[in-house]
Structure formats: C-alpha cells, structure tokens
Chain A
Amino acid sequence: MERMKIGKEKFGDFLTALDKQLYAPQKVGETLRFVPVTPENKLDLEFSNTTVPPKSVLFPQVETLYQYELGKTDLNLPDGGEERVLVGVRPCDARAMAIVDNLFSWDIDDPYYLAKREKTTVIGLACSEPGMNCFCTSVGGGPASTEGLDLLLTDLGEVFLLQSLTEKGKRLCQEAEGTLEQATEEEVTSAEKLHQEAAGKIVRNIDTGGISEKLPELWDSSLWQDVSEACLGCGTCTFLCPTCHCFDIQDEAEGLEGRRCRVWDSCMFSEYTLHASGHNPRPTRRERTRNRVNHKYSYFVTKFERTACVGCGRCINLCPVNIDILNILAEVIKEAI
C-alpha cells in the first residue's frame, strides 16, 4: 500500500488534476448529500456523515431504464455515463457499496448500477470523530476500513495522508502525481494512531455473533410486535440506509412517448408486497419490521455471507419514533438465550 500525503491547501489542485466528474458532500436544501461539484467548490470535509448516503450516486432515487415511443420498436437506453470520483466517502458507506455490489451482480448483471460502479473511483475519508450512534465496529467495519475504497484519506491536521488501495486508486494518484508527496514514517504512524483512537471512541457496541442463526428461530416471537408498534411505516430508515437497494419500476407516459424508470422503494411501505388481488403477505408493520431485520441480518447472510448493515447509524439518528436497531438486536439476543 502506497502512503502519500497532500497539503490541504493543495487538495483542490489534486482534484483538478484528476480531470473527472467529482462528487462530494454539499448541502442540498438543508442537508448534505453527494452531488456533482467542481474543484473550485469549497469542499467541506469536516462533516460527520451525509444524510443521504453516496449510494444515491450509483443508485439514484430515480433512474431511467429506457425511453420509448409507441409505434417504434427501438427503445432508447441511456449509457453508463462519465468517469466519476466520489470524494469524502466514509468507510461505512464504502463497505455498503461492496455489499450491494453482491446483489447487483448476482447471477444477472444490473447494467445500470454496474456500469456506473465500473466508472467510479471512491476516495474515502477516515473518521476521527465517530458519531454517537455509529457502530461500524460491531458489524465487521471500522473508522478506517478500506473495503470498497480505492483511496483512503486521513486528516492529519495540515495534511491528508493518502493510502492507495486498488489499481484504480493507483491510477488516480498517477494522474495527480505532481500534487502528492511521500508521507513520512511519523505521519503514517500518526494516522494509524488516529484510526485506533477513533475506533475507541465508538460508544455503542453490540456482539452480533450468531444473530443470523438466532433470527429464524424467533419468527413467531412477540418481540416483533413490541418493536414495531411505534413504527409509522415511512421510508426514512430504508431510503437513508446505504445498503438498502429495493426499487420499484414505474412507467411515466406522456401521450405516445414516455419512459420506464426505477425509483427507490421501501419494504416498510404497506403496499410494498400488496398483490393486485388485494392479498398482502405482510399486512402489518410487525411483519414488515420482522422482514427488514431478518433481511439485513439473516437472509443476506444466507445468500451472500455478508451482513447487510454497516453500522452507519443513520436509521437510529433519523427514525422519528426512536426505533433503534441496536435495541432490536439486543432484544433478539436476550430472547434467543
């Protein structure tokens, strides 16, 4: 692993040298999310984490699958888009991308997601001040985890330490060679120390060992009714979850032409599994909550041997009724004993 450094004042030059479309956290409305920026935009990398995770770049809220014109048999398919660089992705969100890659390439490739993924280089930013509800270390991650990242930045005060992690990362560094310097041993050690300290600052921990086996046994438990009673059935937890990937396919017709697009959908919505016949296999919030927790911590593990949760804490921070996944898991563990 190559370790280089770059002075913060030179970071703009580094980004300019990359000559690719940049995405970085900026305020949209009142909250942060990853949007296209130019190197001239003031990049604020002092944030805790964005409200909307960077999945919105690879898997946008709405994406045109194809456009059509009635009477014609050609369907216009959009292309993969341009080369892009995501700057300032937290390690948890990058791990989430690696997790979601599994699903979008399972058996049949999803060309829209994978084409974008292929053309995306991810520059991560190690966390030095984890959020209060972060629990990445409980699900196999960490404040400086490298999975899913091509480059990792660590903020050392005056400079960023830069670790190149993949071929893509290496190529990127080569493009901006002039702006980078070799990092000193001290700086590397400093960074490692920061990473360890950050991990130590995580206050909420849980032992998730064995949960994927325990969950199916608790299928009929009353705990699901208890934990879901306050649920409003909104889409906040799912839309802001970096590993959630469920979508709906909708047709938008304007006369003789239109498009078929996909939009974010949520398993917590009441009509998610509603059949046209009126039958709904998950009729209440109890079944839907049970399904969501099982999917993240059990079904995804069965299919892909990965827990589909990276401990980013967004669902805990933003659930309006304080349904807390760590609380649910604690109940599961308690009951399974």
Chain B
Amino acid sequence: MKENANPYKPEIVTIEDTWQETYGDRAIKTFKVVLDDEEARENWSHRPGQCAMIGVLGVGESMISISCSPTEGKFLRFSVMRAGKVTQALHELEPGDKMTVRGPYGNSFPVDEWKGKNILTIGGGIGQAPLRPIIEYVKANRADYKNLSLIYGARTSADLCFKSEFEALNDRDDINYHLSIDIEEEGWPHYVGFVPSLLMEVNPSPENTIAITCGPPVMINFVLQNLKQLNFTDEQIYTTLENRMKCGIGKCGRCNVAHLYVCKDGPVFSYATLKSIPEAFA
C-alpha cells in the first residue's frame, strides 16, 4: 500500500474465479481476485490473519479476512458468508466482475514467533477462513514448524468449507486433521458432536503448542474453557475477534472492544490480552 495514499480509496480488483463452499441461507462463496493495477499488485503484501475491506461500488464494503497466505501467489482469496446487504451483492458477482478492495488491515498471527512449535487450529464454520492462511503458510514453510493439527467442524457436512483441501491432506503424512459435524449423518465417517467436545477427544498436549481458534462466539467460549482445562497457558491461545467495521483504519470508532480497535489492534488477539476485557466476550 502506498505511503501517502488516501486510505479510503480502494483498489479495483477483478474476480478470477469463484466457487460455492456451502449453500442455503447463509451460503459461503469463495472469491479468488487479482488487483487490476499492476504496481499495486506487485507491491501488495499481507500477512496471515490480516483482513481487507471488500465491496461493491454503490453498495458498500465489508471487512473480510484474507483467507490465503502470501506464499500462495499474487492473488487474494476471500470466503464470504451471505448475511447482509454488501455480502448479498458480493454473492451476485461472477468471474470477470469487479470488486473494490482496501487493505491489508489489522495485525497478523505472529507466525515467526511460532517457529519451532506445534500448531493447532480449531475452527468452526466460516471461522476456518481466517485460519487457512496459517495452514498454508506453515505448509509453505513446513520445515520451520513441528506438528500441524487441524480441528474443524460445522453443523452439517454441507456446511463444511474447503472440503477438497481437507481431502487433499490425505495425501500427506505431516498434517493431521479432525473433522466433526453437530448431528448424525448417513455416511459420515468422522466425529459427531460439537467442536469443543472434539477438542477434548483429540486431547492435544499443550507442550510447545500454539492453539488458534476462530468460529462462532459460543464455540470460541467453550473452546477457550477446554483449552484451559487441557493446561494451555493464556499466551499459547490465540483467537480473532470480529465486529461491525466501516473504515478499517481506526477512525470511525465502531469496532472498539474496550480501548482496542479490532481493525487496528486486532483482529488477532492472544487470550492473555483478552481475558481482562469483559467486552471481548460479548
């Protein structure tokens, strides 16, 4: 991002590819986009965990996590759940259409600090999207990290995202994954139950491990409780917070959680930071 650029001015991007991850009322669609401006495309750099304000001119913008790692290439990926006015407009876009993108915003997962450690991601539903860049980054720098384990669940098998990517993990032996769905389904070979329970089943050791969790607030609360039960320290637990956002640059005031702005001091927070802030768990 240019130094003195107008931070409200977005880049125009073109959609290279899109596909549905899930269907229904709260459908999730993934977009792979490329910045139109060559210089901007070359200069773009982001870190796992950062977000961008994406939108449609004439409709508005939404803060969505960048769900690809910078190691994957000169493109951006966003997985968007259809929920309101802007996401509805985004879902109507197809390859070749234009979007606006502003960013990258926020802090990032301290992936460099985590080198030499075991990484455990615990995701629920669309919460897997902000975790994906960690996974891809670790894959691209595999030797720098020890074990990589993924725990991921959704309400039903139809609500799971990135299914093909999980299946591809079967071809490698250096990443474990555990999937779950909330209710019994015919032909489902994996765990049935909520993600926090699956976490207890997996029973990961906190030894030299970082746990990162994203998902619905209810799931996060129980996952945090369970991680503490498994003796993870506060500094070993990371999560992302989300809030309604408009400017993305700490000016409009609405994303604050106590004195922290989710768009600038977050979205990544360690549990050590959050536990003394009651509003973080609203």
User: Is the C-beta of B282 less than 8 angstroms from some C-beta in chain A?
Assistant: yes
Chain A residues 100 to 130 lying within 8 A of chain B, measured CB to CB, are 103-104, 106-112
How many Å from the CB of A237 to the closest CB on chain B? 14
Please, which residues of chain A bring their CB within 8 A of the CB of B282? 281-282, 287
Could you tell me the distance in whole angstroms from the C-beta of A255 to the nearest C-beta in chain B? Answer: 9
Question: Does any Cβ of A come within 8 Å of B95's Cβ?
Answer: no
From the candidates B12, B83, B243, B256, name the one contacting A299 in the complex (CB within 8 A).
Answer: B256
Does B110 interact with chain A (Cβ within 8 Å)?
no
One of B61, B254, B259 near A267 (C-beta < 8 A): B254
Interface size on A, residues (CB 8 A): 50
Interface string of A278-295 (1 = CB under 8 A from B): 010110000100010011
CB of A321 within 8 Å of the partner chain: no
In the docked arrangement, what's the CA distance between A290 and B180, Å?
39
**0/1 string, B4-23, CB within 8 A of A gives 1:** 10111110100000000000
Contact B249 A251 (CB under 8 A): no
> Contact flags (1/0) for A189-227 with B, using CB distance below 8 Å?
000000000000000000000000000100110000000
Let me know if A220 and B258 touch, CB within 8 A: no
Does residue A303 face the partner (Cβ distance < 8 Å to B)?
Answer: yes
Contact A273 B254 (CB under 8 A): yes
Whether B251 sits at the interface, judged by CB under 8 Å, is yes
Q: Which residues of B contact A267 (CB under 8 A)?
A: 253-254
Contacts of B4 in A (CB 8 A): 109
The reply to whether B57 and A258 form a contact with Cβ atoms under 8 Å apart is yes
Chain A residue at smallest Cβ distance from B57: A68
How many residues of chain B have a CB within 8 Å of chain A?
40
> Which chain B residues border A253 with CB–CB below 8 Å?
57-59
For A256, the closest partner residue in chain B by CB is: B58
In the complex, what residue of chain A is closest to B11 when comparing beta carbons? A73
- Which B residue's beta carbon lies closest to that of A110? B251
A62 within 8 A of B: no
The one of A73, A219, A250 in contact with B36, judged by C-beta atoms closer than 8 angstroms, is A73
Number of cross-chain contacts by CB at 8 Å: 116
| A66 contact set on B, CB distance < 8 A | 6, 8-9
B213 contacts chain A at the CB level, 8 A cutoff: no
With the chains together, A106 CA to B83 CA distance in Å?
31
Judge whether A249 is part of the interface by a CB distance below 8 angstroms: yes
A275 located at the interface, meaning its Cβ lies under 8 Å from any Cβ of chain B in the complex:
yes
Describe B's contact surface by its main secondary structure: loop
CB contact under 8 A between A247 and B251, given known A253-B59, A258-B57, A299-B259: yes
**Contacting pair A276 B87 (CB below 8 A):** yes
**In the complex, chain B residues whose CB is within 8 Å of the CB of A104:** 251
Q: Which residue of A lies closest to B61 (CB)?
A: A249
Given contacts A281-B279, A298-B259, A302-B259, whether A272 and B7 have CB atoms under 8 Å apart is: no
Q: A251-B58, A260-B57 are in contact. Are A106 and B250 (CB under 8 A)?
A: yes
CA distance A275 to B254 in the complex (A): 11
Contact with B along A70-114 (1 / 0, CB 8 A): 100101010000000000000000000000000110111111100
What's the nearest-Cβ distance from chain A to residue B87, in Å?
7
**Cβ A250 vs Cβ B60 within 8 A:** yes
Chain B residues within an 8 Å CB radius of A281: 243, 257, 279, 282
With A108-B249, A110-B7, A245-B251 in contact, is A70–B58 under 8 Å at CB?
yes
Q: Are A246 and B254 in contact (CB under 8 A)?
A: yes
Among A111, A251, A303: residue with most chain B CB under 10 A: A251
Is there a chain B Cβ closer than 8 Å to A41's Cβ? no
> For the complex, what is the distance from the CA of A258 to the CA of B59, rounded to whole Å?
10
Instruction: Please state if A103 and B246 are interface contacts (CB–CB under 8 Å).
Output: no
Whether B74 is near chain A, meaning CB under 8 Å from some CB there, is no
Interfacial chain B residues near A300, Cβ < 8 Å: 259
Check if B278 is an interface residue, CB within 8 A of chain A.
yes
State the Cβ distance, B49 to closest chain A Cβ, in Å: 18
Complex CA–CA separation, A322 to B31 (angstroms): 50
Instruction: Name the contact of B243 in the complex, choosing from A219, A245, A273 (C-beta under 8 A).
Output: A273
Extra pairs beyond A249-B8, A298-B259 (16, CB < 8 Å): A66-B6, A75-B9, A75-B10, A107-B250, A109-B4, A109-B7, A111-B7, A245-B253, A251-B57, A273-B254, A274-B244, A275-B242, A281-B279, A281-B282, A282-B282, A291-B256
Interface pairs (12), CB distance under 8 Å: A109-B4, A111-B6, A245-B253, A247-B246, A249-B60, A250-B60, A253-B57, A267-B254, A277-B83, A281-B282, A294-B258, A295-B253
Closest 9 CB pairs of A and B: A276-B84, A253-B58, A276-B83, A246-B253, A299-B259, A281-B282, A302-B259, A249-B246, A108-B249
